[in-house]
Amino acid sequence: MVVNQQIAFQFPNEITLHVKREDLIHPFISGNKFRKLKYNLLKANEEKKNILLTFGGAFSNHIAAVACAGMENNFETIGIIRGEELESQISENPTLQFAYECGMKLLFVSREEYKNKTTDLFLEKLQKKYGDFYLIPEGGANSLAVKGCEEIVTEEDLQFSHICCSIGTGGTISGLINASHLDQKIIGFPSLKGDFLSEDIRKFAVKSNWELVTDYHFGGYGKVNEELIRFINDFYQQTKIPLDPVYTGKMMFGIIELIENGFFPKGAKILAIHTGGLQGIKGMNIYLKNKNLQQIITQ
């Protein structure tokens, strides 16, 4: 396990931006995925469950992390994957291939069936098929995941006036909110369209010192454009910090634009949480190459 680092950048108006490299925690179970799985794995052991079952899409960071965590901690793993057509594309999909190589059993279901993944009937069918498993929700967002994400914020991080993170399911930002001081502002950058995440966050967050900035999803989950890819590459060339195109790239683009537009007050000390997700770059680069678009630089 690599201890994460903080890298600081100076901006006009006495504003500083620190990047907390949670992506360095583990080479494959990185960032918030490590945090979310920590207490879930302990709970699974406590309940004497030896099978982990979870859900995800074609390029899911969560699927990759659960597969690797299962392999390293002697759990069998099962991934319920959205999209029946993907079953014939495992070898062409870096995320699914990695999960498969880690020993994860993959069950591909239709998008319509996937919508029912939280229903009792669907879960009962899975129990009949796979036995007594430990269920981890899509994206890993449950109370134990939030508990793990609370540990992202350390005592030294309480010096920051603003803490920023990208959002998928809302578990990570909930942990940050719970661990923060009331005089800190927690800002989330959703990677999905819509305002429904606020309700999900309120299920876990115990404070109200937060807001969502919903202008930087670039068209929705997994959507990118040339401006975003160019920004990610420029940022990497200038800082040697890799960003993923689904989460951290959009967050960092948003933070820097907000700084330039006067969103943050003079003297703001901003901490951006790098939540990992870098495994998804390989899959995105395949997509970009097929579209004859600029690819993401990785070294």
Backbone torsions φ then ψ of 273, nearest 5 degrees? -90, 120
Burial state string for 64-77 with b = 16 or more CB within 10 A and e = fewer than 16: bbbbbbbbeeebbb
pTM, rounded to two decimals: 0.94
| CA distances from residue 145 to 66, 133, 204, 273 in whole angstroms, order as listed | 13, 18, 10, 16
- Mean pLDDT, the chain, integer: 95
Q: What is the pLDDT of residue 186?
A: 98
Helices (H) and strands (E) in the chain, counts: 11, 10
What pLDDT does residue 4 have?
A: 61
| Residue (of 252, 290, 288) closest to 23 by Cα position | 252
What is the model's pLDDT at position 2? 43
Side by side, the strands of the sheet bearing 105-109 are 105-109, 76-82, 51-56, 134-135
* % of the chain beyond a pLDDT of 90: 93
Q: Which residues of the chain have pLDDT under 70?
A: 1-5
Query: Which pLDDT belongs to residue 1?
Result: 43
Between the alpha carbon of residue 95 and those of residues 60, 100, 179, 246, 258, the distances in Å are 7, 9, 32, 14, 32
